[in-house]
Amino acid sequence: METDTTKGKLVDYRNLVNARRVAAGDDRWIDSYDPYRGEPWARVPRCTSADVDAAVAAAKAAFRSGPWRGLTPTDRGKLLVRLAGLIEANAERLGQLETRDNGKLIAEMGAQTRYLAEWYRYFGGLADKIEGSVLPMDKPSNFTFTRHEALGVVAMITAWNSPLLLLSWKLAAALAAGNTAVIKPSEHASVSTLEFVALFEEAGFPPGVVNTVTGFGPEAGSALASHPDVAKVAFTGGDFTGQKIYEAGAPTLKHVSLELGGKSPNIVFDDANLDAAVAGAVSGIFAATGQTCIAGSRLLVQRTVHDRVLDKLIAIAATAKMGNPAESTTQIGPVTTRAQHARILEMIAAAKAEGARCVLGGGVPSDPALGAGWFVQPTIFSGVVNTMRVAREEIFGPVLSVIAFDTEEEAIAIANDSVYGLASGIWTGDIGRALRVSSAMESGTVWVNTYRAVSFMAPFGGYKRSGIGRESGQESIYEFLQTKTVWIETNLSTANPFALR
């Protein structure tokens, strides 16, 4: 484990580069805030391009030569499975660190850190089942086959809302495929990643296979995303940053996968079980204080059941317990950053100005017990029109837009009228409708009569501005592989060398 030194009240965490714990070369630091207390509690290194160079060099050396290169896929898989056991043994502690650092509920972060191990077991098992093929050839004298080979150094840049889960969706597959990694977590929640990577050393991964660089996006992140020795960038974050990552990778033609934001529609038809639908709507927008990429932030409700659904929704959301995210009974915690707090309040003001009706919340809670934490009341707007900003922009907070519709066709049109396409939900008792509407949705995930379900077995990713590529599930390992075709001539000849063979 990382052994911390304490400076004043703040705990210092260092990066892992080539199996050594290092501060930034120029010894600059970033304060990491506890969102519940509204004050810094830890420091992480503020890396520059020189630190990024060192981390990428370590990952490149580990990929090119040394013990990692020599491991069989089965050996790599065994390491990943051993790591999974260590993750389980440390899940509670890692969950508590995430809650301290990003303010999300321990109920949520603890469940995520306990679940992480499954990604490493799943991809550990997959490591030695990636088969090339012998091709049936039109040229009988050729024996031609394919192999799937690792890309090299993979940069992983992650968001603050679920640091270890989002990292593991990339890292487990990338390592199973034989790559090495340099990880840049969010400046707002780096601590759990710095603690987590110690488990790779304990599991026996060779030096340099997993490295970290903490720091600011435009500084360390940008240097990593454009580094000539990085073969691929696997990114989770906002769509505008995703665009910059894509641009940064263009000059050296990097492989890029982007897991971006959303404005996901959650559609309630009048033939649905309304209690289940309302529970799904609450989970879609108020769980994690709305800070999830898959937030069901647009609730489309058939007009015939609109008022009943809204009443039930308000009844649950109005009584949700706000408080200390480290307590297991808390249902709504603070938002992670002061800037995000201000942005959510700005979007609430914009919705009011545009004429949406605020039927719940709409501001900062007045309860003095919430102290200096960055809290926003669970907020519901009804009468929202899909052209309003509140229905078009990702807010990343506990703000729900309720939009009424009359027909299935209208619901589909409203749902798809978004630049995003990450996820959608459908609540219906009619299997024909479930199949019709799920097929019409322009999104990478569709949930029918459930919401916010993810698994290591199920591909996840976005349509449209919500992303490129898929994480989780068997197909996602190919995001970290490239195909080589090998041709062997079995009948040497001197055919015309100036013509295509």
Active site residues: 259, 293
CB of residue 187 vs ligand NDP: minimum separation in angstroms? 3
3-state DSSP call for residue 364? Answer: coil
The stretch near ligand NDP (CB under 6 A) out of 65-73, 181-189, 360-368, 484-492 is 181-189
Residue 141 or 243 with smaller CB distance to ligand NDP: 243
Kindly state whether residue 118 participates in binding ligand NDP, applying the rule CB under 6 A.
no
Cα separation, 165 vs 468, in Å, equals 18
Pick 13 or 160: Cβ nearer ligand NDP: 160
DSSP sequence for 14-71: -EEETTEEE--TT--EEEEEETTTTEEEEEEE---HHHHHHHHHHHHHHHHSSHHHH-
Kindly report the CA angle at 326 between 201 and 295, in degrees rounded to 5? 90
**Residue window 212-241: x/- pattern of binding to ligand NDP, with contact defined by CB under 6 A:** ----xxx--xx--x----------xxx--x
> Closest Cα to residue 237, out of 205, 262, 201, 270?
262
Q: Is 479 in the site for ligand NDP (CB under 6 A)?
A: no
Footprint on residues 237-256 left by ligand NDP (CB under 6 A):
237-238, 241, 244-245
Q: What are phi and psi of 102, to 5 degrees?
A: -115, 0
Residue 24 sits in the site that holds ligand NDP (CB under 6 A): no
Name the region of 36 (left: φ>0; alpha: ψ -120 to 50; beta: rest).
alpha
Nearer to ligand NDP, 99 or 382 (CB): 99
476 binds ligand NDP (CB under 6 A): no
Least distance to ligand NDP from the beta carbon of 194, Å?
A: 14
Residue matched to tokens 């020599």 = 70
CB of 212 to ligand NDP, least distance (A): 12
Taking CB under 6 A as the rule, which mask of x and - marks residues 263-302 in contact with ligand NDP?
A: ------------------------------x---------
- Residue 311 Cβ vs ligand NDP, minimum distance, rounded to whole Å: 30
Shortest approach of ligand NDP to residue 428 CB, angstroms? 25
Cα–Cα distances in Å, from 200 out to 81, 181, 350? 11, 12, 46
DSSP string, 412-455: HHHHH-SSEESEEEEE-S-HHHHHHHHHH--SSEEEES--S---
24: which 2 tokens? 């930034």
Q: Which residues bind ligand NDP (CB under 6 A)?
A: 157-161, 166, 184, 186-188, 216-218, 221-222, 225, 236-238, 241, 244-245, 259-262, 293, 394, 396, 422, 462, 467
